[in-house]
Amino acid sequence: MKQTKHSVTCCQFNSTADKLLATYNDEDIYTFDPKTGLSETRYSGHRNNATVKGCAWFGDQYIVSGSDDGYVYGWDSQTQHIVMSLYADENGVVNCIEPHPTAPIMATSGLDDDVKVWVPSANEWPQTMKGIKQV
């Protein structure tokens, strides 16, 4: 058995169970083909070191995860680009993320004392990712 310092901190199937999403400590997020076990795509930009992080499918088009920098990040599952960053924890770490199964709503929690519920509120999609910092 190959020894590694990375361990899975969260894994989840998409709605059709043909892709498995997994995040590792000190590593990125990956999707796998559950039939072959082979990695298909890699999503970079969050930090999963200080505590255990969750990741989730947000529908089948997006992937979301908490990060050690206090942000929630969202990736387009096809392009692997970050398309969303939300400042979500005053104490600096977002551990848990749980999208609603059918509505565009998600809940997050981290090291501060609050559970946050996120709902769409903008009239138009942001055109830039200004403010997103290098992780």
Q: Are 6 and 27 in contact (CB under 8 A)?
A: yes
Tens digit of each residue's pLDDT (9 = 90 or more) over 32-64? 999 998 988 999 877 777 676 789 999 989 999
Which class is 8-118 in CATH? mainly beta
pTM beyond 0.95, yes or no? no
pLDDT at 114 over 50: yes
Q: Are 23 and 55 in contact (CB under 8 A)?
A: yes
Q: Are 80 and 43 in contact (CB under 8 A)?
A: yes
- What is the spatial distance between Cα 43 and Cα 87, in angstroms, rounded to a whole number? 19
Tens digit of each residue's pLDDT (9 = 90 or more) over 62-101? 999 988 888 899 999 999 999 988 888 888 888 899 999 8
Domain boundaries, the chain: 8-118
- What is the spatial distance between Cα 93 and Cα 11, in angstroms, rounded to a whole number? 19
3-state SS track over 47-93: CCCCCCCCEEEECCCEEEEECCCCEEEEEECCCCCEEEEEECCCCCC
DSSP letter assigned to residue 98: E
